[in-house]
Chains A and B, each alone.
Chain A
Amino acid sequence: MPSTRVDRRQFLTHVAWGTAGLTVASGVRPSRAVAATYPDWIAASTKPPKRGGALARASAWDPPVIDPRLTQSVGLFQFAGLVCNRLVRHPFADEASGPGDLALKGDLAESWQGSADARIWTFKLRKGVKWQNVAPLNGRELTAADIKYCYEGYAKEGVQTFTFQEIEGIETPDKHTVRIHLKTPNTLFPHNLAEPVAVIFPKEVLEEDGDLKKRMIGTGPFTLKEHTRKVRVVLARNPDYFDAGRPYVDQYTILSTPDAATRLAAFRTGQSDIIWLASLSEVETLRKTNPNAIVQAYHNTLTPFGVALAQDRPPFNDVRVRRAISMAVDRQKQLDTVFEGHGILGWGVPYIYYQDKAPTAKDLGPWWQYKPAEAKKLLAEAGHPNGFQTTLFYYEYFPQMTSQVQLVQQDLKRNLNVDVKITKLDYTSYYGRYVEGKWDGMSWGFQSGHAVGLDERTYHYMHSKSTKNFFRVNDTVVDELTTKLRQTSDRAEQRKLAGKIVEREYDQVLRMWMPYSNGFLVVQPHVRNAAAGAMRRTDAYGSPTIARIWLDK
């Protein structure tokens, strides 16, 4: 019998021929971005929903920890909002009039009311809501005391202390009434409780375990059946959910899939029902194999990413330097090329809170226009005629970000002779360093993506005393305006104040926003009611809408 053993030399020879063959066979396919239009909203199905079936999604994220007090990571909140509820919420895909519909709806609360001075907020709880039928809760009824315990827990420790420490005290006059006293007036307080991270956890688990890292039990539409870190999360339908008849699907599985190509393959083969794609050409490539996939062309109301400058120290504490840097970056080119025209130029407060239409380049003001000559002049006036050296660290949240970082580096070198040394970090190192806020130079920074409400997007992210002020904004005018905004109940006045905050931000270049992809939500043809709302992506922080998804097959 002839030997089938291949020695090293033969192997190398085969490899040589193989690589040569691959080169010839590669045939270099053309890159073609076909112009196509997709709707920006997928209306709810008019057919009667069907019960049953299993939904799955290959996910880029994994929860670092399942204790909602300790993280705001999308890895956790891609399912925490399905296991647990909030007091109030935003409309789901089958209730909303469009992506920008942000009218508050009751979740565990049936109704709510604020005092005239917006310091006392009273919530009437829905009756008959039961915790999931899992020990140690065993399906007992949710009461006002649970809400009080949970909010006090958030105020005590974790990443949400800043939000909940504004609570002076909580009263529970009866089993179904929660009265919250605030230290200072806040007309937007209920909106903070509707944030996807403000989920209600049970006291029994925290008291028994000492933390919430091992078990997640809530009152939500699904129970957490399995969580294997970096493998999968399996959610099973909660038969005792208060919203009778929902959820429609029996099981929702989230497969931890950090590699984009694997996520795409999972969608193609039907192992994943929902996928988020960043560019039109990716959508077109996918539709070659899955022509019936349903696509929603998402429209962002803000960007979560921008160049964060160490503006509490030189040279970025000089507004002229910040303005010069901003004017030296060609944002439009990034938008047209990297995001293939399907994106926004970049602003940090959702525009729907201060104007009707998305801002144009002109709306952003003089310091946000691409004017390299003026930028150079301004930098010289600031005492840097020959530029300077600085650093920029980042984590690649998506491939286009690396393209953007390099384009910014090139713009700054070419236009201002500013040398930027780039360091790409792993997520943990990046997050730790960025959030700690002691870094020098620049970072490709973010503001937490979960926030929907205006208070969170202004006071919480921009006030100098806020622990969520990652861009290190320290501006007395912004402090005043953001405080005033939360004390104003009149909608028109709120819009005016929000506009002023944004104007001040643009003028002082307090957060140097960068273009951001709008992205595309793609679902399998049998998935109904999965549309993504403004700041509420179905696959991410907007996951609670999955309770309304049904499978038409």
Chain B
Amino acid sequence: MSTVTAHVENFPEQPLQTVSRIRALWITIRRKPLGAASAALIATLVLTAIFADVLAPYDPLSAQPEIRLARPSQAHPFGTDDIGRDVLSRVIHGARISLWVGLLAVGIGTVAGMIIGLVCGYWEGRLDLMLQRLMDAIQAIPGLILALAIVSILQPSTTNAMLAIAVVIIPGNSRIVRGAVMSAKQNRYVEAAQAIGCRHPRIIATHILPNVTAPILIIASIWLGNAILIEASLSFLGLGTQPPDPSWGLMLSSTGRAYMEQAPWLAIFPGLAISLAVLGFNLFGDTLRDAWDPKLRNR
């Protein structure tokens, strides 16, 4: 058995390399094609949602029952639905609802979770105990069941579905932020800031928050995919977006399921859109993690 010893003092000092987060992300995207693909996919979805009015060949609500359940053709590349609406146009407009629900729900959930996590992690004590037990209670209920219960109480609508999803997201985010804050506040520079009399809000804003944004953004990107799925599930159960608005989940549940055998395109295209969006956000979340986690950056 041999012993290897290292003499730390003999290592030559190297200049500290700092890479901005955007640059790190850019480097990762360039190095990993899947990351680039996911970024391109998200960009496409976002642009589709923004320019839905221009891109959609038909009014997504305009029914032409005479051509109901028409198979995909040149005029209607994704076919038509049960009352003759153009499925492509509905999928394009559905991106707007699904992404809007995803972004807003995750935004609300992330901000609320971050505030709770910051308060709990920074001050700890009784407030932490109370808030975290509340988070425990919320987390004890499966996410979809909780969302279903909230929407059932508030009445089915897109806005209420969004709020329900946000509530589901809050506990997990608050936990992650709380842990990161507790770790960050052990740093000497935080102690130094406290010692020179910096106020708490300033310490939180300038010294702690920057340390917790990376994990929260990564989690948020993954939650975006989940939020779209939950909205789809709520709409699937009749508790999310209401007819005739085109949400991917609603399209899948109402006509997609009912006419699966006669008109499979009614299930395939919205289902595909959900899959692609979820896949895109999940892969992008992975890419963010690779870019911003120093341990994974060079793998």
Contacts from A to B (Cβ < 8 Å)? 8-9, 12-13, 15-16, 19, 22-23, 26, 28-31, 259-261, 264, 281-282, 285, 333-334, 336-338, 396, 399-400, 402-403, 405-407, 409-410, 421-426, 429
Contacts and interface: CB of A to CB of B under 8 A. Distances in A.
Contacts of A15: 275, 279
Contacts of B243: 402, 405-406, 422, 424
Interface in B242-289: 242-244, 254-255, 257-265, 268, 272, 275-276, 279, 282-283, 286
Interface residues of B, number: 44
A429 B238 CA distance: 12
A424 B264 contact: no
B263 A31 contact: yes
A396 B250 CA distance: 13
B287 to A, nearest CB: 10
Which 5 A/B pairs are nearest by Cβ-Cβ distance? A399-B258, A337-B65, A31-B69, A403-B82, A28-B72
Interface in B60-86: 61-63, 65-66, 68-72, 79, 82-84
A337 B238 CA distance: 24
B34 interface: yes
B213 interface: no
Given A19-B276, A338-B65, A422-B243, A260 B238 contact: no
B34 A407 contact: no
A37 to B, nearest CB: 20
A409 B244 contact: yes
B155 interface: yes
B113 interface: no
A213 to B, nearest CB: 25
Contact of A338 (B34, B83, B263, B276): B83
Contact of A424 (B238, B263, B282): B238
Given A12-B282, A31-B70, A406 B265 contact: no
B69 A333 contact: no
B63 A407 contact: yes
A522 to B, nearest CB: 14
Nearest to B79: A28
Nearest to A264: B261
The secondary structure that dominates the B interface is loop
Interface in B119-156: 152, 155-156
A429 B151 CA distance: 13
6 contacts: A13-B34, A16-B279, A333-B65, A406-B243, A406-B244, A424-B238
Interface of B: 34, 61-63, 65-66, 68-72, 79, 82-84, 152, 155-157, 237-239, 242-244, 254-255, 257-265, 268, 272, 275-276, 279, 282-283, 286
Contact of B71 (A23, A29, A334): A29
Nearest to B66: A337
Given A9-B286, A337-B83, A338-B65, A422 B275 contact: no
B156 A424 contact: yes
Given A31-B71, A421-B242, 13 more contacts: A9-B34, A28-B72, A28-B264, A29-B71, A259-B257, A282-B262, A337-B66, A338-B65, A399-B255, A403-B83, A406-B244, A410-B61, A429-B152
A409 B272 CA distance: 29
Given A12-B282, A30-B71, A407-B83, A399 B259 contact: yes
A23 B272 contact: yes
A45 to B, nearest CB: 31
A273 B243 CA distance: 34
Nearest to A421: B242
Contact of A285 (B62, B63, B261, B279): B261
A26 B255 CA distance: 17
Contacts of A31: 69-71, 262-263
A22 B269 CA distance: 10
B238 A425 contact: yes
A19 to B, nearest CB: 5
Contact of A28 (B71, B257, B286): B71
B263 A423 contact: no
A544 B82 CA distance: 35
A264 B82 CA distance: 19
Contacts of A30: 71
A336 B70 CA distance: 15
Nearest to A9: B286
Contact of B156 (A19, A399, A425): A425
A19 B261 contact: no
Contacts of A282: 261-262
Contacts of B82: 338, 399-400, 402-403
B63 A406 contact: yes
B86 to A, nearest CB: 14
A48 B49 CA distance: 67
A26 B242 contact: no
Contacts of B282: 12
Nearest to B34: A13
B206 to A, nearest CB: 35
A39 to B, nearest CB: 23
A429 B66 CA distance: 33
Nearest to A18: B275
Contacts of A424: 156, 238, 242-243
Nearest to A404: B83
A26 B34 contact: no
A423 B242 contact: yes
| Most interface-central of B62, B70, B242 (chain A CB within 10 A) | B242
A406 B264 CA distance: 21
A396 to B, nearest CB: 7
Contacts of A425: 156, 238
A13 B279 CA distance: 9
A5 B234 CA distance: 32
